[in-house]
Amino acid sequence: MSATSLQADQVKQFAVALGFDLCGITTADIAAQSDYYRKWLEKEHHGEMQWLARDPLRRSDPRMVLYGARSVICVALNYYHPRSDHPGRGRIASYALGRDYHLLFEEKLAAFREWLTQQAGGQHKVYVDTGPLLEKSLAARAGITWQAKSTINIHPKFGTWLFLGEILTTLELSPDRPANDHCGTCSRCIDACPTQAITAPYQLDARRCIAYLTLELKGSIPLELRPLIGDKIYGCDDCLEVCPWNRFAKTSRETTLAPTEATNRDLRDYLSLTREQFKNLFSESPILRIKRRGFLRNVCVALGNIGTADDLPALHRLHNDEEPLIREHAAWAIEQIEKRLTPKDKHSIFPFFPNFADS
């Protein structure tokens, strides 16, 4: 299948009707960043994300994902909602404060695929960031965003707060021009990164990135990186928040992406969640993905960094948790908080054991 009477403009109009904020089209040729990607894997900057290392050639070439693919329709959705952070609550990346965007994208992209089939036949495959595609590179080539020094994609009118999705299709659609890079001499994101994960412009060592450490890493968080994580318990927005292009950010039309009560609780309150309660609380949230063990591990790290004597009883209870990973991180948090206690704090916690309090 190749030639189609369907025009690129009709495709873009339908994308807008579905609620996407941006839509661009590129050819299904090999992604421009395939060399960089191969070298990135060789340096093992992907850490434990083994699926990224699986079949890199296929990931770089959309035609190996969908035989006969001619075009890639790239879409983006603005997820920005103003947020209010409170001391002691821990920070969750903005994209994860509301409903899981995968659910939202899957619904919209399924409708898009059906429409394309009805309009022009052909074969189509839809993807949201979990697919085997270099989606940031494709979105840049489709002209909807540029891939910035932070490695995040940016649009001049929406800033950095964008979800990306793709439709591979055997239809031949008129491609757009690639986006221009507007980072210029700016380096704010590089300077703002607390773990120096952006090792140079356009270079990310994922193993140091807080998004990787709090979401992708399954085991223990390296001791030397824990203090740098601060109060973050799921992802990190530091390199996004400083980007000057975000001064143009607009509130998303998707109300389901707005922060929910589940993501706005005191850190201490999360410590008592059972597995069942965790599943219920985050049933429609991307946080569900890291399971209770990953989430409480992260909460313990944040409390180790910002917690107070008031958090110690709940952390001590968690120190007996059935999950060894949680026990280890709770012990670390207790140790960190105890190091910060003043003599007055110690006396208020251990009033009947003055010698211990003085230790």
Stretch that binds ligand SF4, among 14-22, 233-241, 271-279, 310-318 (CB under 6 A): 233-241
* Contact region with ligand SF4 (CB under 6 A), list: 1-9, 203-211, 301-309, 341-349: 203-211
Select 60 or 94, whichever has its Cβ closest to ligand SF4.
Answer: 94
Q: Select the span of 19-27, 118-126, 232-240, 314-322 touching ligand SF4 (CB under 6 A).
A: 232-240
Number of residues located near ligand SF4, criterion CB under 6 A: 23
CA pair distance 74, 308, nearest whole angstrom? 46
Q: Of 8, 30, 186, 258, which one interacts with ligand SF4 (CB under 6 A)?
A: 186
Closest distance of CB 145 from ligand SF4, Å: 11
Catalytic residue (choose from 35, 85, 129, 191): 129
Q: Crossing angle of helices 324-340/291-306, nearest 10°? A: 10
Shortest Cβ 240–ligand SF4 spacing (Å): 7
Residue choice 52, 65, 120, 243 for contact with ligand SF4 (CB under 6 A): 243
Nearest Cα residue to 182 out of 150, 222, 226, 214:
150
Alpha-carbon distance of 181 to 174, in angstroms, equals 22
Asked if residue 245 binds ligand SF4 (CB under 6 A), the reply is yes
- Give yes or no for a contact between 30 and 145, defined as CB atoms under 8 angstroms apart: no
Among 116, 162, 197, 287, binds ligand SF4 (CB under 6 A): 197
Q: Is 198 in the site for ligand SF4 (CB under 6 A)?
A: yes
Residue 119 found at the interface with ligand SF4 (CB under 6 A): no
Q: How far is the CB of 32 from ligand SF4 (least distance, A)?
A: 18
Beta bridge partners, 127, equal: 166
Q: Which is nearer to ligand SF4, 157 or 317 (CB)?
A: 157
56/72 Cα distance (integer angstroms): 18
Give the 3-state DSSP-derived string for the chain, with helices as H, strands as E and coil as C.
Answer: CCCCCCCHHHHHHHHHHHCCCEEEEEECCCCCCHHHHHHHHHCCCCCCCHHHHCCHHHHHCHHHHCCCCCEEEEEEEECCCCCCCCCCCCEECHHHCCCCHHHHHHHHHHHHHHHHHHHHCCCEEEEECCCCCCHHHHHHHCCCCEECCCCCEEECCCECCEEEEEEEECCCCCCCCCCCCCCCCCCHHHHHCCCCCEEECCEECHHHCHHHHHHHCCCCCCCCCHHHHCCEEECCCHHHHCCHHHHHCCCCCCHHHCCCHHHCCCHHHHCCCCHHHHHHHCCCCHHHHHHHHHHHHHHHHHHHHHCCHHHHHHHHHHCCCCCHHHHHHHHHHHHHHHHHCCHHHHHHHCCCCHHHHHC
- How far, in Å, CA of 290 to CA of 286, rounded? 8
Smallest gap, in angstroms, from Cβ of residue 2 to ligand SF4?
Answer: 37
* Shortest Å, Cβ 188 to ligand SF4: 4
What is the nearest approach in angstroms of ligand SF4 to the Cβ of residue 267? 19
Q: Which of 23, 193, 249, 318 binds ligand SF4 (CB under 6 A)?
A: 193
Active-site residue, 129 included: yes
Binder among 52, 72, 239, 315 for ligand SF4 (CB under 6 A): 239
Kindly identify the residues of this chain, within the stretch 142-161, that bind ligand SF4 according to CB under 6 A. Answer: 148-150
Is residue 199 near ligand SF4 by the rule CB under 6 A? no
By CB under 6 A, tell whether 229 contacts ligand SF4: no
Minimum distance between the CB of residue 199 and ligand SF4, rounded to whole angstroms?
Answer: 10
Give me the 275-304 binding string for ligand SF4, x by CB under 6 A, dash otherwise.
------------------------------
Q: Which is nearer to ligand SF4, 220 or 283 (CB)?
A: 220
Binding site for ligand SF4 (CB under 6 A): 148-150, 183, 186-189, 192-193, 195, 197-198, 209-211, 236, 238-239, 242-245
* Catalytic (active-site) positions: 129
